[in-house]
Every structure is written in C-alpha cells, then in structure tokens.
Amino acid sequence: MPNVIDADLCVIGAGAAGLSVAAGAAQLGRKVVLVEKGKMGGDCLNYGCVPSKALLAAAARAQAMRDGGKFGVYGEPTVDFPAVMAHVRAAVAAIAPHDSQERFEGLGATVIREAGAFVGPRALAAGEHEIRAKHFVVATGSSPAVPPIPGLEAAPYLTNETVFDLDALPGHLVIVGGGPIGCELGQAFRRLGARVTIIDALEILNREDPEAVGLLRARLDAEGVALRERAKIARIDARAGAVSVALEGGETVEGSHLLLAVGRRANVDGLGLEAAGVAYTDKGIVVDDRLRTSNRRIYAAGDVAGGPQFTHLAGDHASTIVRNILFKMPARRRDRLAPRATYTDPEIAAVGLSEEEAAKDHPGARSARWRFADNDRAQTEGRTEGFLKLVADQRGRILGASAAGAGAAEAIGLVCFAMADKMSMRAFTNVMPAYPTRGEIVKRAAGAWYAPALFSDRTRLLVRLLALFD
C-alpha cells in the first residue's frame, strides 16, 4: 500500500517555477509537497542560465585581454580550461543552497525525490507515496530537442545538459542551431580557444531585430566563429574522436565535438496527464490565461506551459499561480511583458512589440532610437557599437523596445519596469540618471521620440509668443 500524504498543494518539478510556488505557499502556512526526480534547481541552475553565464564571464575575461591594445594594454590570455570549468561549477555550487532540499524542508515543505505521475484527477504517485492535494502545479520544464538528422542516432553529441561536463577544450566545436544557446556558447568556446562553426537552417537569432543581429554577426566573424546560415544538414557521421556534418550542396564540416542547440521540448512524458484529465500538445500543457489546465485543480507553469521559455517568465508564472490559488485573485499570465536577452557580445535584448508589429496593431505608432556611439560612457569604454530603439503609440505609451550592445539587457530592464506599470515615454524623460552612465541611453531615446513635436514649427511659434511677456 502506498504512503498517502494529504496536502494543500503538490508541486511537480523543482525548477524556477516550481520552487517559487512551493516557497511562497510554504511560507504562507500551506502544507506543500514538492516532487522532483532530478536535481534541485532544475535546468536554470544546473544546465542553463547559471553555468552558461559563468562560462561567458570567463570567456569575456580572455577577450578583454585580446582587445586591450586600443587602451594601451597588451597581452594574450593563457586559458586553463579545467580551471574555467572549475569556476563554472563553483558558481553553480554557490547558488545551489538556495534551491536545495534542505532549504525547502526548512520552510516546512515535504520534498520527495522521485518521478511523479498522476493516477487520478486529484492524486499523484511518486515512489512509495501517493499525494492527494487540493491543488497541483506541474512545473516540469523542458529538455533539449533532438532533430531527426540522418546518422545522428549513432553520433555522440553534446547538449546544454552535458556540455558543462567537459574537462578538455574541444578542438573544433560544431554547433547545430544558431539561437541564443548556440550563439552564446559558440562565442564563449571560441574566446576560450576552440575553433567553432555554427550551422543554422535559417539565420542566427532569426527572431531578433535584423540590425542587432547584423552587429553580432560582424563580431562573431571578426572573432573567428565560422557561420553557416541557411544551411541544411544532409547527414551526420561519427568516427573515433571526430564528427562529420554533411550539408546539402556538398560542403562537409569536420569537427571534434558536436553540440545540439536547436530548441527545447516541454517535459510531459510520463506524467500521467491523461489520468488527471489534463490536455496537452507537442508544445506543452494547454492552459488558460490564469495558467489553469483542463482540470481546474491543476495548474502548469514555466516551460511546460507552452509559450516563451525563460526563467524570469517561469518566476512570474509562479506569482500568478500563488495569487490564484492562495489569494483567490483572478491573476493572469503576463507573457507579453517578458523580455528576452541573448548574452553574446554584443548583447541583444528585446521586450514587447517590434516596430513592424506595432505598426500593424497600433496605427500611428512610431519608434525612436539612440546610438551607443552618442553616449559618453560608451565612448570612454571604447564600446560604442549598438543602439536602443523605443516603440510607442500616438500617446507615448510604451509598446516595446529592442537593443544591441554592451549592457543591452540592463537597458531593456528599465523598459520592462515602465511597461509593467503602463508608463509613457515621459517617465523616461523625467528621469535624471548619473553622468556618465549607459543609463542615459534610455532617457535620450525617449527624448528623441518627443523631438519632432518639441522642435516643430508649432512649438517655435509658441515660444515666440511667450517671449512677448519677457
């Protein structure tokens, strides 16, 4: 007989969304059961955001030495790759206690380290336990997608879940997929000394502003990353210590290691969703705008809920669910406010509507931009490539933004704040940032949006009339 546990809330998955829901509910005095079959912290801590950004930080140090000549500082880095990976693992270890089983048990949650599967509309089996709860939250995340390429099944390959286990620098890393993961890791490994080729069936970062992507493409080329865009793979073959990628058209790319970075798929297999009456597709669990599934006692959050796959969005989903379940508030998901950022050099970030999207949905909407080259801090740092674009409707209500360059993701963060509180461009023009900072860029872009009206003939006439009262 299973050990039956009655709870107020059962959370399946200890990643960003699941941990946030469990922590909030436990601290509010609810009886919480947290079920996780793998590592606490999920993808972000163990295989995604944390290790990748630690690797990027090490790679940036190496590149800074190479680029020091323009400042009168010269030197070529010596890369100790095992020490680099030790830094990556240390970063993960430093953050891990916050996501640990011990911490959540300390908050009052029951943590079960087993795979969970529904056995009924309000019951979940996990190992020797059966959890019966008033509400469930499925937050099982996503996993690397594996494309159906001939020969791949017999070839050894890396994904973001295994690439950080490397202890030796690849001789030639061939990356399939030019999205954020492929571009970030490709640039990082190149800066650390590996040869790198990125292959994409379309164009790298094809969702982003073409002008921004153009800046990154030029930088990758300058650093020696080989790009094969609009290139379809015909076959992959593996030999001892080598991989061969044959492209349609006849070219063959030979490498030492293969990394797959072609997207992610929602983790729904083995959850017994049919037994719970939960509808799902190949994109994830079907939810409404309150993140409820077809079983109104069961919610889904994060990557498994379909939509954009970002850690920060998973955290926001958790907040929405806590308000719905515990505070009985009709809170709704806010996916449209989720920014996206690619932490290459230059960074590329965006939030909300693009110029083209805004023009379709909001007649009269227009954009304004500010070049990083016109920012004094950027000039002093010698990092002047890049720009910020702000998009607003006729009344100045902010609809979106895109940016490329050093600190682009931080600049977009200010726009996210304004959009969340439905502010207008005037909120930025009223700000007084310190000088010299890159924070001035957002203010200057907003000022550029108002410039046509401010310096119009009508305004000039008004100023002349007011001068009569001098």
Domain with CATH 3.50.50.60 in the chain: 3-143+265-336, 152-263
Pairing of strands 172-176, 116-120: unpaired
The CA-based angle 226-227-231, given to 5 degrees, is 135
Cα(444)–Cα(459) distance, integer angstroms: 20
> Confidence band (pLDDT; 50, 70, 90) for 470?
confident
Q: Is 92 exposed, middle or buried (0-12, 13-18, 19+ CB in 10 A)?
A: middle
> Confidence band (pLDDT; 50, 70, 90) for 462?
confident
List, as residue ranges, the binding site for FAD: 53, 116, 140-142, 303
The 10s digit of each residue's pLDDT in 48-107 is 999 999 999 999 999 999 999 999 999 999 999 999 999 999 999 999 999 999 999 999
Pairing of strands 242-247, 252-255: antiparallel
CATH architecture of structural domain 346-457: 2-Layer Sandwich (3.30)
Q: Answer yes or no: are the C-beta atoms of 341 and 412 closer than 8 Å.
A: yes
Sheet holding 257-260, edge to edge: 226-229, 195-200, 172-176, 257-260
**Tell me, what amino acid is at 29?**
G
Percent of the chain whose predicted confidence (pLDDT) is above 90: 94
**Tell me, what amino acid is at 343?**
Y
> Confidence band (pLDDT; 50, 70, 90) for 300?
very high
Beta bridge partners of residue 243, listed in sequence order = 238, 255
Cα(350)–Cα(208) distance, integer angstroms: 8
The 10s digit of each residue's pLDDT in 234-255 is 999 998 889 999 999 999 999 9
The 10s digit of each residue's pLDDT in 95-149 is 999 999 999 999 999 999 999 999 999 999 999 999 999 999 999 999 999 999 9
List, as residue ranges, the binding site: 53, 116, 140-142, 177-184, 263, 303
Query: How confident is the model at residue 239, as a pLDDT?
Result: 83
Q: Which among 120, 138, 135 is positioned nearest to 35, based on CA atoms?
A: 138
- Residues near 345 by beta carbon (within 8 Å), at least 6 away in sequence: 60, 63, 187, 219, 406
Look at residue 1 and tell me whether its pLDDT is greater than 80: no
Statement: the pTM of the whole predicted model exceeds 0.85:
yes
Cα(372)–Cα(299) distance, integer angstroms: 43
Tell me how far CA of residue 1 lies from CA of 125, 127, 128, 130, 433, in angstroms. Answer: 12, 11, 8, 9, 64
Tokens found for residue 133? 């709860």
Pick the CATH number of 3-143+265-336 from 3.60.15.10, 3.50.50.60, 3.40.50.300, 3.80.30.20: 3.50.50.60
Query: How confident is the model at residue 241, as a pLDDT?
Result: 83
Domain with CATH 3.30.390.30 in the chain: 346-457
Look at residue 298 and tell me whether its pLDDT is greater than 90: yes
Query: How confident is the model at residue 453, as a pLDDT?
Result: 84
Sheet holding 398-405, edge to edge: 340-342, 347-352, 398-405, 386-392, 366-371
List, as residue ranges, the binding site for NAD(+): 177-184, 263
Q: Which among 268, 293, 302, 319 is positioned nearest to 16, based on CA atoms?
A: 302
The 10s digit of each residue's pLDDT in 319-371 is 999 999 999 999 999 999 999 999 999 999 999 999 899 999 999 999 999 99
Q: Answer yes or no: are the C-beta atoms of 208 and 342 closer than 8 Å.
A: yes
Pick the CATH number of 152-263 from 2.60.120.620, 1.10.760.10, 3.50.50.60, 1.20.120.330: 3.50.50.60
Q: Answer yes or no: are the C-beta atoms of 395 and 367 closer than 8 Å.
A: no
303-322 residues labelled b (16+ CB within 10 A) or e (exposed): bbbbbebbbbbbbbbbbbbb
Cα(249)–Cα(29) distance, integer angstroms: 63
